[in-house]
Chains A and B, each alone.
Chain A
């Protein structure tokens, strides 16, 4: 039951630039568990300290949002694609607000040098 997990650009720094990874998993939670075991740095970006999926990270099985299925218990079958879709705000500015990379980090992005619309 191989499931392909798609890793979005912002998180590829924690997966050695890998854009996807395949795991044998019966549920979305299992697949994400394997993913964060293989890429330990990713865990804090996807999950809170008590193990809940962060609210600004959406996960889809194929094209369905797991919030409208069985969340992390959503079953997966052979060939399913699990997509992690973080919130991105970028429009134009190159630079994100510098922020700590040292402590707990998220997948969300804010590409702005200042809060201008440009």
Chain B
């Protein structure tokens, strides 16, 4: 099923909609204007459109760049994070000189340079149930470029409550999913996935990572869908879930149906206001989650002192082989996932110090080994990152 794109009626505007382009704008957008599918009519729709981007990272960067370049008249950028050095591999709106700056502000500066004729607002705030409706109400289309389940459900519910389209994209490693939720007859995120996965059932960071180009492709598709909604052309992804596999270089699409009994967009809505999405997703703070295991720990400094003293300590590295190649402490490598079947390789009579990158996987390893009967086992607090910070700065952080 494909849905013909209906042009969105502009929400009540404070100022009268633009009815013409300046000569400079005509020149800037000439490659749009000479296409009948856009033309002057479409370009004016773009100029009068108001789009809110949730997240200015991997997905938000190409989204923001293309929407600004296309002449979307008002862009809102919501992000409370700061640019990190590791973001530059894929978050192409930022430069090296932006590291440490507010993402929303850095993105605004970049997009303003690209197109000074449009209005760009940076919201340096975390999207919450308390501010979402207020933030969304002045925009026509919301584009979800976030990276976590609570915010995804929050964006969905706020869009449904306000009757706004939600251009959705998500990625993992080499794979992306793209669709449009929140159109009057279309499904919503809860129709696709009524519930988030329980916490603790999400994979380890050992399985994380993303090829930098992937968010560029997925974010660009989101930008294309956003522009199609604005100009009212083409077949929208409403009711279709696009799956993209970058390794196989294959696009597939699945039918996405509106669930008549959806608690959010179904015939009998049972969710009438925004809820606590962290609770809904069962998410605790990551530190809390790690320390909940309550395993015995050793600090990097204490470990260094004991090694220097010549104590017989067995270092167990529970990361993945490709992480070991980045840096290591000369420990024995047994990835967390292989530990249950390789536990016999460990000598429970020796004192073991387990570590990973940040200390969380190894906390699980320590917890597992203690349950398996190991008594002399400690977790390296803060992992190899803390070792680099506190003991040996020549060890690279990643």
Contacts and interface: CB of A to CB of B under 8 A. Distances in A.
Contacts of A116: 79-81, 126, 147-148
B35 interface: no
Contact of B174 (A9, A87, A94, A114): A9
Contacts, number: 216
A90 B56 contact: no
Nearest to A14: B337
Interface residues of B, number: 81
Contacts of B358: 98
Interface string B161-173: 0000000011111
Contacts of A9: 172-175, 245, 247
B204 A96 contact: yes
Contacts of B145: 91-92, 117
B192 A58 contact: yes
A53 B270 CA distance: 25
A101 B364 contact: yes
Given A65-B254, A116-B126, A87 B193 contact: yes
A106 B198 CA distance: 9
Interface string A76-105: 000000010101111111111111111111
B286 A113 contact: yes
A1 interface: no
B120 to A, nearest CB: 17
Nearest to B152: A89
Given A9-B174, A98-B364, A117-B126, A89 B204 contact: no
B31 to A, nearest CB: 29
Given A63-B255, A101-B337, A105-B201, A92 B174 contact: no
- Majority DSSP secondary structure for residues of A touching B: loop
B152 A96 contact: no
A112 interface: yes
Residue with the greatest number of chain B CB neighbours at <10 A, chosen from A10, A60, A100: A100
A109 interface: yes
Contacts of A83: 243, 252, 254
Contacts of B393: none
Contacts of A68: 257
Interface core residue of B59, B203, B339 (most chain A CB under 10 Å): B203
Most chain B Cβ neighbours within 10 Å, of A90, A100, A117: A117
B197 A90 contact: no
Given A83-B252, A87-B196, A105-B201, A93 B340 contact: no
B210 A90 contact: yes
B289 to A, nearest CB: 7
Interface in A5-63: 8-10, 13, 19, 54-56, 58, 60, 63
Nearest to B193: A87
B209 A94 contact: yes
B61 to A, nearest CB: 8
Contact of A95 (B208, B254, B278): B208
Given A68-B257, A102-B339, A94 B208 contact: yes
Interface of B: 54-60, 78-81, 86-87, 90-91, 103, 126-127, 145-152, 169-175, 177, 192-210, 215, 241, 243, 245, 247-248, 252-257, 278, 283, 286, 289-290, 336-337, 339-340, 356, 358, 360-361, 364-365, 368
11 contacts: A54-B197, A85-B254, A87-B196, A88-B170, A89-B170, A92-B57, A92-B90, A96-B202, A98-B360, A99-B360, A118-B58
